[in-house]
Amino acid sequence: MRRFRFLRDPDPAAIGDSFEAFLRWLEGPACLFISGADDSRCRAFVTLLHGNEPSGARALWRWLREGERPAVNLVCIVASVTAALTEPLFTHRMLPRARDLNRCFRPPFDDAQGRLAEEILELLRLHRPEAVVDMHNTSGSGPSFAVCTFPDRQHDALAALFTGRLIISHLDLGALMEISDHRCPTVTIEVGGRLDDAAHRCAYEGLCRYAAVEDVFAAGIRERGLERLADPVRLELRDGVSLTYAPRPCAGHDITLRPDIEHHNFGSVGPDVVLGWTGGVASRLFRAVDAAGSCAVDRLVRIEDGELRPAQPLKLFMITTNAGIAQSDCLFYAVADDGQPIAA
Ligand SMILES: [Zn+2]
């Protein structure tokens, strides 16, 4: 396995004329240290945990080319360079048979991905950043949002540097943001789809603010109100349930979802909306557990005459239209229409 390569204050002329050249120059997992005007403090920027989510690393390349000096030291960790550079470029979330790196930030660290995650945690411990931002693209197209596990004013301010939406999640998945506490506020920023220009722009402009502001915890929050979405529930597929995306029911699959389902990202959907079709029974097709540990499937979806609909007015997000991700991760996240947790 490749260990991290360390680069300190790289020459902007040396880092490559294109984003792809930049990644080839990094060769593998890399930690770039950029000296700040105030070198008594440090912030961390982590990105490319998933090789198919290039906006954060692209923003970093662009920002490094400008040769700007950050307000405080900036530690930039670019993780899945090898997966990103595996053909076809930027399509591999991780290498074949590897675990999802953003599910590996807790023991055991006993495989290649686990050791990479452990090394990232060690780098963060070593540098004691005042804040950590972990930047991703969403699997589908859609607006930007932040996710944190720890709701307080500092996390609000960090999120607001990048986006207008904050999801507060207590899901325990082994994600990097779960290391967060009041000493080291950590947010995940999902800038939008990997092919969206708006996502690249959100990543770059957010990184510029994050690097430039004197006080990250005072900067963004004054400018705009954050929309908060609390304790989302994941709708997952049960093992062995097959799924496809098509504009009409597909024989040979347990569930067909509409290919335009991702248009509902962050919008409100009620029981009048048809999400897809199935001949099955909701409780045998899906799994969903609320924050109290109770099954929430019947509060999320219902099946009527073979049509799959929301069981009540909901706000859905991180809707995927990739059957592989739907099967290995989840179909979508949901909160009540008003952003509150789905009531029992
Ligand atoms: Zn990701």
Beta-bridge partner residues of 135? 47, 189
- pLDDT confidence bin for 343, thresholds 50/70/90: confident
**C-alpha torsion sign, points 110, 112, 118, 119:** positive
The mean pLDDT value for 84-106 works out to 95
- pLDDT confidence bin for 225, thresholds 50/70/90: confident
pTM exceeding 0.85: yes
- Ranges 148-157, 186-195, 281-290: which has the least confidence: 148-157
Distance 102 CA to ligand 1 centre (A): 7
Task: Cis check for the bond before 232: say yes or no (omega within 30 of 0).
Answer: no
Q: Taking a C-beta distance cutoff of 8 angstroms, is the pair 214, 71 a contact?
A: yes
The mean pLDDT value for 233-245 works out to 96
- pLDDT confidence bin for 224, thresholds 50/70/90: low
- Ranges 77-81, 154-158, 223-227: which has the least confidence: 223-227
The mean pLDDT value for 301-327 works out to 94
Where are any strands of DSSP class E within 9-120? Answer: 30-34, 38-47, 72-78
Distance CA 264, CA 41 (A): 41
Distance 251 CA to ligand 1 centre (A): 32
Distance 306 CA to ligand 1 centre (A): 33
Nearest by Cα to 342 from 308, 301, 286, 284: 301
Domains (ranges, CATH) in the chain?
Answer: 5-229 (3.40.630.10), 232-336 (no CATH)
Can you give the pLDDT at residue 220? 59
Can you give the pLDDT at residue 116? 95
Can you give the pLDDT at residue 214? 95
Q: pLDDT tens-digit profile of 144-190?
A: 999 999 888 899 999 999 999 999 988 788 999 988 877 889 999 99
Residues 6+ apart with CB under 8 A from 168: 147, 148, 149, 151, 228, 229, 230, 231
- pLDDT confidence bin for 83, thresholds 50/70/90: very high
Distance 337 CA to ligand 1 centre (A): 25
Q: Taking a C-beta distance cutoff of 8 angstroms, is the pair 64, 32 a contact?
A: yes
Distance 289 CA to ligand 1 centre (A): 22
- pLDDT confidence bin for 249, thresholds 50/70/90: very high
Would you call 336 helix, strand, or coil by DSSP? strand
Can you give the pLDDT at residue 221? 60
Would you call 168 helix, strand, or coil by DSSP? strand
Distance 136 CA to ligand 1 centre (A): 5
Distance 302 CA to ligand 1 centre (A): 29
235: tokens are: 């709708």
Helix (H) or strand (E) holding 186: strand 186-193
Distance 19 CA to ligand 1 centre (A): 18
Mean pLDDT taken over the chain: 94
Can you give the pLDDT at residue 25? 97
50: tokens are: 């998933």
Distance CA 241, CA 233 (A): 19
183: tokens are: 């000493």
Can you give the pLDDT at residue 108? 94
- pLDDT confidence bin for 222, thresholds 50/70/90: low
Distance 85 CA to ligand 1 centre (A): 16
The mean pLDDT value for 298-317 works out to 97
Would you call 333 helix, strand, or coil by DSSP? strand
Phi, psi (5° rounding) for residue 57?
A: -70, -35
